Amino acid sequence: MFKIEHINYSYGSLRVINDISLDIKEGEFVSIIGPSGSGKTTLLKMLGGLLSPSKGSIAIKGGSLDLAVKRRDFGFVFQNPVLLPWRTVLQNIQLPLEIIGKKAPVNKSKKFLEIFGLEGFGDYYPAALSGGMKQRVAIARALVFNPDILLMDEPFGALDELIRERLNLELLKIWEQTGKTIIFITHSISEAVFLSNRVVVLSERPASIVNVREIDLPYPRTTKIKQSSEYFKHITWLREQLKES
């Protein structure tokens, strides 16, 4: 799905990304962790075509990143759900379809309400929603036009632990049902282990890849897996990698 070769990025004289190369397979769930300010968000923006590498190249499905952008291969979810306050939940979910000029039956958008546990809230405005509900709307909006790739930048970072855990389970269910490629940035090592096939560890800025960890825990994953020795072994290993970064 992704072939990333020797990419660099600088803001003026400040180098943020330093010689990163990585292959990501179709249908993988890959998490990226690293110290605060290391360049994780910059890397995600480059993968989604929002920024262009200063050096190096990114190919999607064997073609150019520009072509992937034109095909609308990407759905984005950020830590701040950025819902339009004057639009209802259903209208916010439908927004990408309107932007690309694609008409879809209202019942398709309503299906997303059901998938994300938002039945009965389609006519509500964002001000009436909890933080977790707003983030569910943001994920539904990112998926409504059926992109192949979902890019997520700390989408659950501002939520309390119980809501975060519930949304982790919902996200895994959607990933298992759709087979989409997900690239997920998080500060939480345990969240990365729980969700991912692989975890990429970045160094301090300028970010380079310290190591990549295969997470061989079985799917479907439930919260019971968090009691296993294998789960803690992955967390311990990743924590040591971060210390050395």
At residue 236, the 3 state secondary structure works out as: helix
Q: Going edge to edge, which strands form the sheet with 209-214?
A: 74-78, 149-153, 181-185, 29-33, 198-202, 209-214
When pLDDT is cut at 50, 70 and 90, the band that residue 157 belongs to is: confident
> 227: how many CB neighbours lie within 10 A of its CB?
8
Note the pTM of the prediction, 2 decimals: 0.92
Q: Taking 80 as the threshold, does the pLDDT of residue 102 lie above it? A: no
Alpha carbon distance 186, 189 (integer Å): 8
What mean pLDDT do residues 70-85 have? Answer: 91
Q: By the 8 A CB rule, do 157 and 187 touch?
A: yes
What mean pLDDT do residues 157-181 have? Answer: 89
When pLDDT is cut at 50, 70 and 90, the band that residue 20 belongs to is: very high
Q: Taking 90 as the threshold, does the pLDDT of residue 186 lie above it? A: yes
Q: By the 8 A CB rule, do 44 and 56 touch?
A: no
Alpha carbon distance 157, 164 (integer Å): 8
Which CATH number describes the domain made up of 2-73+147-244?
A: 3.40.50.300
Q: For residue 189, give the amino acid letter.
A: I
Tell me how far CA of residue 132 lies from CA of 45, 79, 144, 186, in angstroms: 24, 11, 18, 16
Beta strands in 27-71 (DSSP E): 29-33, 55-60, 63-64
What mean pLDDT do residues 162-171 have? Answer: 89
Domain map of the chain by residue range?
Answer: 2-73+147-244, 84-145
pLDDT at 105: 55
